[in-house]
Amino acid sequence: MDGILVIDKPQGITSHDCVKKIRKIFGVKKVGHAGTLDPLATGILVVLLGKATRKFLDFSGFDKEYEATLTLGITTDTGDIQGKIIKTLPFDHVRRENVLQAFNNFVGVIEQIPPMVSALKYHGEKLYQLARRGIVVERRPRKICIHSLTLTEYVPPELNFKVKCSKGTYIRTLAEDIGTMLGCGGCISSIRRIGLGPFKIEEAIKLEEINASHLRHQ
């Protein structure tokens, strides 16, 4: 069986967990996904079955769009609210105009240092595997592109935003960098991928509802 599925990944499971479930539903051994979402994140996950797995690079290269919440004043060891808190700072000086000014500094081509909690490899081992053992290694900055960054709501300490970005962009790192620029730190408390190339969240299928009728043949 060959084709693709556009899944709305729920929170609390890994992308690999989704692949395992799809493999079981369809009885297909060759299953993969394009564009990893960590357990905290929800939203579009493209799953490839059979011969469609050969098109992995086509899907992984797409631009992406997210909705996310940044919680100000809290810095964690993972860059998200589920990590260990390593610092807290006051945020009462941050006004809406400060946030908008900070956002302007991140639009366009910028350099970003990948987080330790990522699937990038260092000497053959994934960074998040090293991070779990308390190992931190030097990561080189990578060029990414933030096409747009829009503030949708600001109710301190939380600010909600939408971002359209190139592949290789880490939203938790973007949030941390924004928090640093605002002088209070910050971490991601929610993240949802609502766009991946031509795919939109409105057409994604919930994992528990998937059946053969949802398979798009390629």
Task: Tell me, yes or no, whether 75 and 177 share the same domain.
Answer: yes
Task: Tell me, yes or no, whether 174 and 206 share the same domain.
Answer: no
Task: Tell me, yes or no, whether 124 and 186 share the same domain.
Answer: yes
Here the CATH number for the domain that contains residue 31 is 3.30.2350.10
Annotated catalytic residue within 8, 38, 80, 177: 38
Task: Tell me, yes or no, whether 26 and 129 share the same domain.
Answer: no
Residue 2 falls in the annotated catalytic set:
no
Sequence-distant (6+) residues with CB within 8 A of 111 are 141, 142, 143, 144
Task: Tell me, yes or no, whether 32 and 140 share the same domain.
Answer: no
Residues 13-49, buried b or exposed e (16+ Cβ, 10 A)? bebeebbebbbeebeeeebbbbbebbebbbbbbbbbb
Per-residue pLDDT band for 59 (boundaries 50, 70, 90) equals confident
Task: Tell me, yes or no, whether 117 and 163 share the same domain.
Answer: yes
Task: Provide the mean pLDDT of the chain.
Answer: 90
pLDDT in tens, 193-204: 999 999 999 999
Domains in the chain: how many in total?
2
The pair of three-digit structure tokens given for residue 84, joined into one six-digit string:
């260990």
Task: Tell me, yes or no, whether 82 and 170 share the same domain.
Answer: yes
User: How many C-beta neighbours within 10 Å does residue 139 have?
Assistant: 15
* CB-side neighbour CA atoms (13 Å) of 135: 9
Task: Tell me, yes or no, whether 86 and 108 share the same domain.
Answer: yes
Task: Tell me, yes or no, whether 188 and 204 share the same domain.
Answer: no
Mean pLDDT of 176-194: 97
Hey, CA dihedral for 142, 167, 153, 80, is it positive or negative? negative
Sequence-distant (6+) residues with CB within 8 A of 92 are 156
> Could you tell me the residue range of the domain that residue 120 belongs to?
64-196
